[in-house]
Structure 1
Amino acid sequence: KFFDSHLSPFYRIEQLILATVPDPKTGKAPSIVTEENILLLFDIQEKVDQIRGNYSGSEVPLTDICLKPLGEDCATQSILQYFKMDVGNYDEYGGVEHAEYCFQHYTSSELCLSAFQAPVDPSAVLGGFSGSNYSEATAFVITYPVNNIVGDSSNENARAIAWEKSFIQLAKEELLYMVQSNNLTLSFSSESSIEEELKRESTADVITIAASYLVMFVYISVTLGDAPQLCTFFISSKVLLGLSGVVLVLLSVLGSVGFFSALGVKSTLIIMEVIPFLVLAVGVDNMCILVRAVKRQPRDISLEDRISSALVEVGPSITLASLSEVLAFAVGAFVPMPACRIFSMFAALAILLDFFLQITAFVALIVFDCKRAADNRIDCFPCVKVSSSSQESVEGGSEPGFLERYMKEVHAPVLGLWVVKMVVVAVFLAFALASIALSPRLETGLEQKIVLPRDSYLQDYFDSLAEYLRVGPPLYFVVKDYNYSLESRHTNQLCSISQCNSNSLLNEISRASQTPETSYIAKPAASWLDDFLVWLSPEAFGCCRKFTNGSYCPPDDQPPCCTADDDICSLDGICKDCTTCFRHSDLQSGITLTKLVGVMVLCFARSEIFVVYYFQMYLALVIIGFLHGLVFLPVILSLAGPPQIYLDTEEEEQGRDGASSSLLN
């Protein structure tokens, strides 16, 4: 913020990357520095120069928005600058040989200076080379710096965005075909590309997310009902109850969005996609637990008493689980990252509202649904009443479902074997130790590619950046409150010329550039302070020299240098700096399988962020949590838990009936 307001924000970057295709036999890409490819680049540049953006009915050419440090020429970073961006100079200067000469003498030869009279570092316009072997480069990197304005009261940024849209359109419709016809690859990007692609990503997976919600809704409706029987299916099903639960989730999300919108907190469409999925996945647990708890209650007591007993049984666990989830997201509201903070705020309030709606409105809906089923009214059409010969079958009976039989007859007996217990403990202990050992290898940060759609053109662009570029963005060191008076020590603490402190800032940066693999600093800093001190020194040579005829005179230490046969160099040139400023089967059917069927749909999402975080990682969490809850925890409780209680189904039902009768009496 200080740099942007006192100097200027970093330029808007528009970029093209042309690269050769690797040989299928050797796997090695040929050099791109050929006459054919350079002439192709001139053709591409001509089309870029012809781009006209449309802003409020007026045309916006590149020359109106580009960075112009000296004169009227844009500071385009391209190999074409060695030919002054003019195809007519290509043969006159010597073609490819001239470019290869400029790779080594880009600061000393006047013919190698750019059209805007500044040297062009070959590391910035070439890619895919090793060391300083620029002639072996396999990629051209063309960068168009565009002015970036703070505040943008003159709408310059809006004009630039209009040009960028035309630039991307040209690259997709024409440049891509031109490059591919020459057996090359093209990747491209503009300053507004990420923002535009994120907007597209927000709507790219709407169908996938809707399908996930639909699958979860269908599963909820089926699992909330009783074991399917054809004669009573239309009565015992819970489609209307499941739909009501989904509506409550949407109401809680809308309540959260409305509350924070009233406070002026902005939301994004991706938050609107993720939070309903998250709240629905969390809320389904409570819905299944509540419905199953009501079904387990004795049938000879009133419906209100059954609801009351069910809430006494599962209410505390639902409350504690919901509060822990709310607190977990509330902690995220204190994270300084804006996206994470806003997401946590919306999610915490949505889950809290969903909890209140479930223990109030959803409980009332359960009562209505039970009365509907008891009165033999069809689900989804409660006004239609049918006759039933078996009231017990309508109420669901006492016939256990498939998952309940599996847990009782297969799962529990197998886990009761001593050998199985030892294997389970050993496997989970090894898994925990391996997780702890591998945790230091976790890398922080979010890859830009993950948040973009899979079919985004920026996917290829980021791949090209990683593969071909040999330099990164510029790094600025800004020193505040510098005292430049003679008695001040600040100058010696900053400069790097002779008589400066050995541990000065610029000397430390220079030493760091010697180990770029760890410091990520490629070259020593270019400092105006050193240049200014050298210019002040009476012993220094002229920093900018010209022959008497006005042509450039290079210094003696860089060939081609001045000789005695040349005109006498004069020091009348001007040097201008170019710096710019639970419960058993309920856990499996109501929690695990519900999330599983919803998450599986997300594997078809077009966005990597959904595939990685909401399919792969969330699926892993569900499976690992399921294994810990229904495999590891029962084994641990059998070894170190309270005494086991053996109670068959009939005794359990009799005990419940007796307890209920005594309660009624």
Structure 2
Amino acid sequence: LFVSKGNRPKKIIPMVLVVVAICAAGLHNIDIETDPIKLWVSTSSTSYQQRQHYGDIFNPFYRAEQTILVPKDGGSIYRSSILKESIRVQNVAANVTYTSDDGSETITLEDICWKATGTGCTINTITQYFQNSMEHFEFYEKYGLELEHFSNCLYAPTTSDVALCTELKNALEDGDELPSTMSDCPCLSAFGSPMNLYNTYLGGFPDGAESNYTLFLESGAFVASYLNYNYADDDKNEPAIKWEREFIKTMKAETASNTVFNIYFYAEISVQDEVDAESSNGMGPVALSYCLMIIYISLGINRFKFSRDFFITSKIVAGFCGVMSIVCGVASTIGIYMWFGVKLQLIIMEVVPFLSLAIGVDNIFLLIHAMTEKEEALRREQPSLFIGLEHNPKAIEEITSTIVSESLAYIGPSIFMASAAESVAFAFGSISPMPVVLWFAAMACCAVAINFCFQMTMFLSILTLDKRRELRGQYDIIFKRASSVKSQVPPAGPETDRMQQSSQPLVSMQQPTTPAVERASQTPVSVETSSLTAMLDYCVDVYAWVLTFKIVKLIVLLAFLACTLLSIYSMETLDQGLPQKEAMPSDSYMIEYFDALDVYLATGTPVYFIVETGYERNPDEWSLNDESVETIFCKSKDICGTYSIPNVMNALANHGDKTVTHVSPGTTYSWMDDFWGFVNPDSECCRVDSEGAYVPIETGNDTYTTLRGEDDTCLASSVTVPPVPEDHYMSLFSMFATASAGTSCSYGGGSIYRGQFSIDTDPIPVVNSSTAAVTLNSSGYGDEITAWSYMVTGTANPTQQHFIDSYKQNLRAAEWISEKTGVDIWVYSLTYVYFEQYLTVVDDAYKLIGLALAAIFVVTTLYLGNVFYSLVIALTATNIVVYVLGLMQPLDIMLNGLSIVNLIIAAGIAVEFCGHFVRFFAKARGSGDDRAKAALRQVLTSVLFGITITKVIGLSVLTLADSRVFKKYYFRMYMVVVLCGVLNGMVLLPVLLSTIIDVKNFF
């Protein structure tokens, strides 16, 4: 077929290049995905759907910046100089201002921050005991009261420090006057919330601090969080993103210059920007790998033989074009997906080119080595054909066609089998719902198939042209005829006449596909062979001979059985997860931040247990004034049930003998109880003007506070709460939901519950100075409260398993509460979208790897037509996968979506190490030992030089990648695959098959 249809290289190459151009043109649509959610989370997962729904009804979880300040001297934070410097550093962060290059746009924290009505930005930090004000701190400091005020507020964070304030006022010097904002020495924050979650705002404190607050004074770190609004519409987040990037620049400068603190910091955009930075710098190792492979191919194709005709037989151009054909395959693969709008990802950019190179170069070596063997066989059989070829272009074409066609018949089926098995196996990786894994597997599958097609067309045509050049005696690269090549006139005779007159192939294609080798083995024609080649052949024979000894076979079989059992034991202890810092560049400031989190952070992200109308068994509308409903949702009145949801939340966090270990101790809140306290006419919280409009609380303005106290209460003094009057319920709730807290009122829902209420399935609107005040007898922000949440604080999770266990535990808690109360609730936390996959990761691994191995069995069965040998290939691939799984734990590689798809790829690559050997073993004749020797002679050097070493060289460059994800999950894993593959394919398989065939003789 090749002689009759494929011997037109000058037509085939342009045709393939046109296809490449069309496919690769899609690269003009290239777009790189760096959003962690869109990389690692399936949009069909329950946690993702809940995340989106949470954002729809409550607003997306706020954007957060965080700083961790650790004294460089290792001392505690309870020192005046340390407290003062921490306030300064936090104010540096809070005062960050973004200014556009042309000065037309200015963005400050006040423009984007999360705040309640009439308050400042929400900055959660323990130095809010001084309202994070340097002026306040210095006033206390002047009179030596700063540490006493700090400790007093630590013990009573919801009140004012009245006793100390009296002492301070009595000690005032002439001319000194308390600032109006600290007239009563408040402990509440500048935005009205109490700073009572000590384990959230402090780090590195001694064990037992939650039960003995004095120990918090020995803490070793400040933890400050800056909360900003987050929107579902990305365009609305642009101002926040610009400010965050300015924040990062400012904090980098502060970190470099600060002499008091080691500063670790994070912004909401940090992870995305660091991944983006790595993406833009990630192509260096790829380019280096391809360059090294070109050099290796140029030298290794001739088995490093440097003879005087090296530049005639070197195949430098052919090797270069072979690598370029792989580049074309990669570009075409990515281009095709870009045509369909798929976004490119960092892993695809760096790993798919390596994978394509590792597999494609194998095929280059196999093809060229097959051509070399067929040419040598033809020279031994018909040496006269090669005399005087420089004068006979027609004979050159015919000889080249014969060599190429027989080479294809010899090795082409094995290449096809391996490529088909790999491509089908990789395709099963695209079943994974994780986007980065799905598209990596899909592109790897496509890349293998396209590379095979290009190599069987364009590269084969290049090899045909190169072989013609070589037979003409022309130098490689410059294509000039070597002066040392002497013209020889072929002897007259029928052979010469046939060469000159006939267009038929010199060796009949009707003969078996390997006649040259068989006849050559019977023809004692000496052919000049390099000493290195002779030595390699001798080593192969010795190695094959050693494997025939029974004791060697027994040792090999027992050793591999032991390794298999140890691997099975090791894989049972495999850790799960994928730490975020693994994906960061090695020099990223985020690495130090994540390390600091593990050391100093005692709490995790907030966990929300959400009650929603219409969810599962819940009614479409709650009668929140009905006592039977109130008993489920309150905790401070006699009517409140023992197992009311707020009581259960408090037990989860603070029960002394609790079994729920992933909820941090601390204050829990009940909105219904606080709502009752807010509208109670005996409190100072709810005041309306003469038109019935709510009068907000303003801290630091004594005159305003006095005048506000003269306004009417929202409810008449004769009203007893609960219940709340039905006709005022929604207007009063709307006031409560946006009201700030203060020293005169600690019940402001806007300070405590911001982002935890939904009215008519929409979030509470963002309130600012231009927002119209809510009035009594109106419907407020809507007609019905449709959802609300109860918040607890998660524990710090130093390991991925802690995150997974926390997620599982809170899911069980939500199920238990639903069963106990009859109210169906669901649980949400910011990190859950990343960990849902681990609920089923083990089952997914078995399913996907099993399907890949089954596909390999089916493909090899269809090709070989022999169930036994196909089963041997599939079982060997299984053993390789088991070995890789067993070595993952010692190599610090976790089980996750990435490692699962790599295990699928390992199964596919395993076919390369065992498929070629099994095919030649099946075709050989004689005893098991004879067949193993024959198969090893055929494939061992090609497997070592063409498959193993090429993969080692290509993968070694991954050590230069600037991310631990690539070093662990690609360099380490793929190196293990190569090592296990060559050992199973070239050690275990010959012993196993020869033993099975000669099983009677073995015993």
Alignment TM class, shorter chain as reference:
0.7 to 0.9
- DSSP-derived class of the 2:404 partner: helix
| 1:476 counterpart = 2:592 | no
Residue 2 of structure 1 and its aligned partner are, at CA, apart by: 0.8
Residues 366 and 946 in structure 2, CA contact (< 8 A), matched pair in contact too: yes
| 1:38 counterpart = 2:118 | no
Number of the residue aligned with 2:906:
none
Residue 229 of structure 1 and its aligned partner are, at CA, apart by: 2.8
Residue 467 of structure 1 and its aligned partner are, at CA, apart by: 0.8
Shift in alpha-carbon separation, 1:406–1:525, aligned structure 2, 3 A:
farther
Number of the residue aligned with 2:36:
none
Structure 1 CA distance, aligned partners of 2:707 and 2:81? 35
Shift in alpha-carbon separation, 1:432–1:516, aligned structure 2, 3 A:
farther
Residue 457 of structure 1 and its aligned partner are, at CA, apart by: 0.6
Residue 44 of structure 1 and its aligned partner are, at CA, apart by: 1.6
> How many residue pairs were aligned?
613
Number of the residue aligned with 1:603:
959
Structure 1 CA distance, aligned partners of 2:71 and 2:537? 63
Shift in alpha-carbon separation, 1:574–1:293, aligned structure 2, 3 A:
closer
Q: 1:359 aligns with which of 446, 453, 456?
A: 456
Residues 227 and 396 in structure 1, CA contact (< 8 A), matched pair in contact too: no
Residue 226 of structure 1 and its aligned partner are, at CA, apart by: 4.9
Residue 600 of structure 1 and its aligned partner are, at CA, apart by: 2.0
| 1:128 counterpart = 2:266 | no
Number of the residue aligned with 1:116:
191
Shift in alpha-carbon separation, 1:532–1:79, aligned structure 2, 3 A:
closer
Structure 1 CA distance, aligned partners of 2:971 and 2:276? 21
Q: 1:176 aligns with which of 230, 255, 258?
A: 255
Number of the residue aligned with 1:54:
99
Residues 403 and 585 in structure 1, CA contact (< 8 A), matched pair in contact too: no
Number of the residue aligned with 1:82:
129
Number of the residue aligned with 2:331:
254
Structure 1 CA distance, aligned partners of 2:629 and 2:431? 38
2:599 is aligned with what amino acid?
E
Number of the residue aligned with 1:278:
355
Number of the residue aligned with 2:149:
98
Number of the residue aligned with 1:294:
371
Structure 2 CA distance, aligned partners of 1:502 and 1:382? 92
Residue 279 of structure 1 and its aligned partner are, at CA, apart by: 0.6
Residue 362 of structure 1 and its aligned partner are, at CA, apart by: 1.8
Number of the residue aligned with 1:164:
244
Residues 252 and 354 in structure 1, CA contact (< 8 A), matched pair in contact too: yes
- DSSP-derived class of the 2:608 partner: coil
| 1:428 counterpart = 2:560 | yes
Residues 345 and 436 in structure 2, CA contact (< 8 A), matched pair in contact too: no
Residues 305 and 530 in structure 2, CA contact (< 8 A), matched pair in contact too: no
Deviation larger for 269-278 or 232-241: 269-278
Residue 576 of structure 1 and its aligned partner are, at CA, apart by: 2.5
Structure 1 CA distance, aligned partners of 2:628 and 2:985? 66
Identity of aligned residues (%): 32
Q: 2:664 aligns with which of 511, 522, 528?
A: 522
Number of the residue aligned with 1:19:
70
Residue 254 of structure 1 and its aligned partner are, at CA, apart by: 1.4
Residue 493 of structure 1 and its aligned partner are, at CA, apart by: 5.7
* Unmatched segments (≥5 aa) in structure 1: 23-28, 553-570, 645-665
Q: How does 1:285-324 map to 2 (within 5 A)?
A: 285-297=362-374, 298-299=377-378, 300=381, 302-324=399-421
Shift in alpha-carbon separation, 1:506–1:585, aligned structure 2, 3 A:
farther
2:581 is aligned with what amino acid?
K
Number of the residue aligned with 1:639:
995
Residue 275 of structure 1 and its aligned partner are, at CA, apart by: 1.1
Structure 2 CA distance, aligned partners of 1:355 and 1:516? 60
Structure 2 CA distance, aligned partners of 1:390 and 1:399? 27
Residue 227 of structure 1 and its aligned partner are, at CA, apart by: 4.8
| 1:193 counterpart = 2:244 | no
- DSSP-derived class of the 2:606 partner: coil
Number of the residue aligned with 1:71:
118
Residues 678 and 747 in structure 2, CA contact (< 8 A), matched pair in contact too: no
Number of the residue aligned with 1:531:
673
Residue 524 of structure 1 and its aligned partner are, at CA, apart by: 7.3
Residue 262 of structure 1 and its aligned partner are, at CA, apart by: 1.4
Shift in alpha-carbon separation, 1:374–1:15, aligned structure 2, 3 A:
same
Residues 208 and 605 in structure 1, CA contact (< 8 A), matched pair in contact too: yes
Shift in alpha-carbon separation, 1:534–1:47, aligned structure 2, 3 A:
closer
Residues 474 and 481 in structure 2, CA contact (< 8 A), matched pair in contact too: yes
Deviation larger for 524-533 or 279-288: 524-533
Residue 487 of structure 1 and its aligned partner are, at CA, apart by: 7.5
Structure 2 CA distance, aligned partners of 1:71 and 1:489? 36
Q: 1:225 aligns with which of 302, 319, 325?
A: 302
Shift in alpha-carbon separation, 1:157–1:402, aligned structure 2, 3 A:
farther
Q: What is the CA deviation profile of residues 516-556 of structure 1, one whole-angstrom value per residue up to 9, with x for unaligned ones?
A: 88642224784555426865999x9969699997999xxxx
Q: Which has the larger radius of gyration?
A: 2
* Unmatched segments (≥5 aa) in structure 2: 1-51, 162-185, 210-214, 383-398, 489-526, 687-696, 710-742, 756-915, 917-938
- DSSP-derived class of the 1:364 partner: helix
Structure 2 CA distance, aligned partners of 1:189 and 1:573? 33
Number of the residue aligned with 1:137:
219
TM-score by length of 1: 0.84
Number of the residue aligned with 2:60:
9
- DSSP-derived class of the 1:441 partner: coil
Shift in alpha-carbon separation, 1:318–1:479, aligned structure 2, 3 A:
farther
Q: 1:148 aligns with which of 222, 226, 230?
A: 230
Structure 2 CA distance, aligned partners of 1:219 and 1:528? 70
Shift in alpha-carbon separation, 1:573–1:625, aligned structure 2, 3 A:
closer
Residues 333 and 447 in structure 2, CA contact (< 8 A), matched pair in contact too: yes
Structure 1 CA distance, aligned partners of 2:448 and 2:204? 50
Residues 495 and 504 in structure 1, CA contact (< 8 A), matched pair in contact too: yes
Number of the residue aligned with 1:580:
754
Residue 304 of structure 1 and its aligned partner are, at CA, apart by: 2.1
Residues 347 and 440 in structure 2, CA contact (< 8 A), matched pair in contact too: no
- DSSP-derived class of the 1:277 partner: helix
Residue 49 of structure 1 and its aligned partner are, at CA, apart by: 3.9
Structure 1 CA distance, aligned partners of 2:747 and 2:984? 71
Residue 386 of structure 1 and its aligned partner are, at CA, apart by: 3.9
Structure 2 CA distance, aligned partners of 1:543 and 1:521? 33
Q: 1:379 aligns with which of 476, 487, 508?
A: 476
Shift in alpha-carbon separation, 1:475–1:589, aligned structure 2, 3 A:
same
Shift in alpha-carbon separation, 1:510–1:385, aligned structure 2, 3 A:
farther
Q: What is the CA deviation profile of residues 600-649 of structure 1, one whole-angstrom value per residue up to 9, with x for unaligned ones?
A: 232233222222122222212211211111222222223224699xxxxx
1:134 is aligned with what amino acid?
F
Residues 303 and 532 in structure 2, CA contact (< 8 A), matched pair in contact too: no
Shift in alpha-carbon separation, 1:400–1:527, aligned structure 2, 3 A:
same
Structure 2 CA distance, aligned partners of 1:209 and 1:527? 54
Q: What is the CA deviation profile of residues 232-264 of structure 1, one whole-angstrom value per residue up to 9, with x for unaligned ones?
A: 111111211111111111111111122111111
- DSSP-derived class of the 1:401 partner: helix
What is the RMSD of the two structures over their aligned residues, measured on CA atoms? 3.4
Residues 450 and 609 in structure 1, CA contact (< 8 A), matched pair in contact too: yes
Shift in alpha-carbon separation, 1:335–1:492, aligned structure 2, 3 A:
farther
Residue 599 of structure 1 and its aligned partner are, at CA, apart by: 1.9
Shift in alpha-carbon separation, 1:227–1:44, aligned structure 2, 3 A:
closer
Residues 375 and 385 in structure 1, CA contact (< 8 A), matched pair in contact too: no
Deviation larger for 94-103 or 334-343: 94-103
- DSSP-derived class of the 1:472 partner: strand
- DSSP-derived class of the 1:118 partner: coil
Q: What is the CA deviation profile of residues 130-171 of structure 1, one whole-angstrom value per residue up to 9, with x for unaligned ones?
A: 33221111111121111112215xx54211111112211111
Structure 2 CA distance, aligned partners of 1:501 and 1:415? 77
- DSSP-derived class of the 2:612 partner: coil
Deviation larger for 139-148 or 331-340: 331-340
- DSSP-derived class of the 1:475 partner: strand
| 1:445 counterpart = 2:577 | yes
Q: Which is bigger in relative contact order (C-alpha 8 A, separation at least 6)?
A: 2
Residues 494 and 506 in structure 1, CA contact (< 8 A), matched pair in contact too: yes
Shift in alpha-carbon separation, 1:42–1:291, aligned structure 2, 3 A:
same
Residues 333 and 345 in structure 1, CA contact (< 8 A), matched pair in contact too: yes
